[in-house]
Structure 1
Amino acid sequence: MVPSVCAGQLLIAAPDLGDPNFERSVIFLLDHDGSGSLGVVVNRPTELPVAEVLVPWSGYSSSPDVVFSGGPVGVDGALALAAFDSVPAALGSRPRGWRPVIGGIGLIDLDSDPEAVRQDLRALRIFAGYAGWGAGQLDSELSQGAWVVADSLPGDAFSPRPERLWGDVLRRQPGDLRLLATCPADPSLN
């Protein structure tokens, strides 16, 4: 049975997922519908400081203040996830250039003026590239057990310790899923 998936959830790579692009990755799902799925890997920081590529947003991004590798697609472009303390429900009163995903978390247009959103901005993360799936592709991978689907907590996409996120998210899952967090990087060593 294929688990139900929706935007705002996390995809956690199964320990035996063989694709090096997604080994031990945690993906925050931005869109999922009949035409496909889109997300960003939230636990792959690069060493590139945000200040070197997006000067206007320098100092606004969450620690670590670096660009994250969001996935293997569109690596020449950047996406930004922003979290706001409070976002009014009325469309006209949302921050300019912001598209909600879940709750106060959404995509923000990097051409926007960061000063205009600074007051209510709780967290920001910049991603080079993204993960994408065509129609039915993610469902197929889910049915093969390549991913664990989990609800996200508000701080997951902005974790100050992204290198621990894969294990941390798995450890809070119910039942036997939490045991996956103890799986060694090379299962043959187990």
Structure 2
Amino acid sequence: MVSLSPGVLLIADPFLKDPNFARTVILLCEHQTNKGSFGFVLNKRFDQHLHDLVPDILIPGIPVYYGGPVQIDTIHFIHQQPELIKGGFEIQSGIYWGGEFNQVVKMINAGKLDPNKIRFFIGYSGWSSGQLENELNEKSWILSEINKALVFDEKDENVWRQALKNLGSNFAIMANFPIDPLLN
């Protein structure tokens, strides 16, 4: 059974109505029962690219994702390149959060980072102590083990459906539920 811990995926229940989290998948990066939790929405692309937000970035077109509604004036990143990016925190085997951002900018501009192994977020999703546990009790989220393909490779629009399908047939059926069952 999957429990709350860094590296777990939070899959939004099909009927979760919160516009920040409807049909999202969140990579949980930190969870401490007495302090709270935070993570990043994996499947909501932001309407600007990294070079629009960070003037030092010379390479256009690098996508940025809406990490969540908290501190949307900050940029975060996860990656699979610890040999190139120092200072990151390993949240799950081979997946790191953060690191030296100035180093990342230089390596992007030099073409040394694999764009399929790094993902940028504006803002993050956060929960105070006990809040995420309460949301789990209310059945707002479905927990899943991490899947690197969903985190880095999957197309944004497929992440939520694929995360449910990966949990097996009982959940795969939920991937086709309408947003509002009254419209069915």
Into which bin does the TM-score normalised by the smaller protein fall?
0.7 to 0.9
- Find the counterpart in structure 2 of residue 140 from structure 1: 134
1:128 equivalenced with 2:118 (yes/no):
no
Aligned to 1:91: none
Q: Which runs of 4+ in 1 moved over 6 A?
A: none
Residue 100 (structure 2) pairs with residue 83 (structure 1) = no
Q: Which amino acid aligns with 2:88?
A: W
Q: 1:58 to 1:11 in 2, by over 3 A?
A: farther
Aligned counterparts, 1:1-190, within 5 A: 4-34=3-33, 35-57=35-57, 59=59, 65-84=62-81, 87=82, 95-109=85-99, 111-114=101-104, 115=106, 121=114, 123-190=117-184
* Ranges in structure 2 where 5+ consecutive residues have no aligned partner: none
CA-to-partner distance for each residue in 1:7-27, whole Å, 9 max, x for gaps? Answer: 111101001112111010110
- Distance between the aligned counterparts of 2:172 and 2:183, measured in 1? 19
Aligned-pair CA distance for 1:58 = 5.3
Over residues 70-117 of structure 1, what are the superposed CA-to-partner deviations in whole Å (9 max), with x where a residue is unaligned? 100010111111112xx57xxxxx842211111111112353312469
Conserved? CA contact 1:80–1:110, under 8 Å: no
**TM-score where L is the length of structure 2:** 0.86
Question: Is the Cα contact below 8 Å between 1:96 and 1:112 reproduced in 2?
Answer: no
Measured on the aligned residues, the alpha-carbon RMSD in Å equals 2.4
Q: Flag the 1:58–1:134 CA change in 2: closer, same or farther, 3 A.
A: farther
Letter in 1 for 2:90: P
Give, in whole Å, the separation in 1 of the partners of 2:157 and 2:140. 20
Match of 2:80, SS state, is strand
> Percent identity at matched positions?
30
What is the number of residues matched between the two proteins?
Answer: 179
| Higher helix content, 1 or 2 | 2
* 3-state DSSP of counterpart to 1:155: helix
Measured after TM superposition, the shift of residue 52 of structure 1 is: 1.4
Once the 2 structures are TM-superposed, how far is the Cα of residue 55 of structure 1 from its aligned partner? 4.4
- TM-score scaled to structure 1, two decimals? 0.83
Kept in 2, the 8 Å contact 1:79–1:110? The answer is no
User: Mind listing any 5+ residue stretches in structure 1 that lack a counterpart?
Assistant: 89-93
Q: What is the alpha-carbon distance in structure 2 between the residues aligned to residue 32 and residue 70 of structure 1?
A: 16
Aligned AA (1:112): N
**Does structure 1 retain, via aligned residues, the 8 Å contact 2:51–2:57?**
yes
Whole-Å separation in 2 of the counterparts to 1:48 and 1:68: 9
153-162 or 134-143, larger mean C-alpha shift:
153-162
Contact 2:8–2:27 (8 Å) recurs in 1? yes
* CA distance 1:124–1:3, shift in 2 (3 Å): closer
Higher strand share: 1
AA of the residue aligned to 1:65: I
